[in-house]
Amino acid sequence: MTYVPQIDIKNKNEHKLIIQFINKYPELFTILYYRGGHGGNVLYRSICSTDSKFLWLKHFASADWEDDNNKKPLDWPRKTEGYDMYNIGDNTSIRENHATTAHTSVFTLEIMDISTFKLHVDLCIQNNKKLLIRTHDPDIHKIISKVLIIRICGSVGHITKAKIKYTMKSDKIIKPIIADNIHNMDNYNFLSYDYSSFEKEYLALCARLKAMPNISNVRAYVLLWLERLNRFNNDLP
């Protein structure tokens, strides 16, 4: 299977070494693939709140100004409207960034450096945890075959407005891929106001992770995120 990365790799040599390590010790990792702007961090936080076997550090919360007791995966900031912002120098919509994202301070695989990777792996080994790694690489399955890859499919077109020019959302549709190590997660269901659709999608994920559902807390988080996006869409404070 030919692999030609469709995204920029910060350091190709370090990236190659990290991929080799992941393939050598697949039991330490789970991969979360999503296109930027598809609400991937909502799912990242939901997974970490569902299954305590995944490493979660306080700085992952992307809210350094908050008290330590308000830095769990599903905690919203209390002192600001939203989480820390990405690419603040290039972002033309501070409100969109604050109001409609669930940013985490976790490096994606394509920009992760060896020292950070080693630090997180060491913490996983010391504390009997697994590392949930984010990536925007749609072809990650071509170079990682033994690790569970959770692939966010569909788009966020059902919850965005065509007339709005978003800087932090994408309406591109991501298709599922059928493979033994891939769990396809449908955004249309997970990020839905319809409870039954959400429940079916979330419980299927829990079954794949072999984790006890945290359905009430995850549902509450998703609904608040949807409400925040809806208020932004309709120019409400």
The 10s digit of each residue's pLDDT in 25-56 is 999 999 999 999 899 999 999 999 999 999 99
141-184 per-position pLDDT tens digit:
999 999 999 999 999 999 999 888 887 777 789 999 999 999 99
User: What pLDDT was estimated at residue 66?
Assistant: 95
Residue whose tokens read 């970490």: 48
Going by C-beta distance under 8 Å and a sequence separation of 6 or more, which residues neighbour residue 197? 188, 189
Q: What is the pLDDT of residues 177-189, one digit of tens each?
A: 999 999 999 999 9
What's the pTM?
0.94
Q: How confident is the model at residue 234 (pLDDT cuts 50, 70, 90)?
A: very high
d(CA 39, CA 24): 30
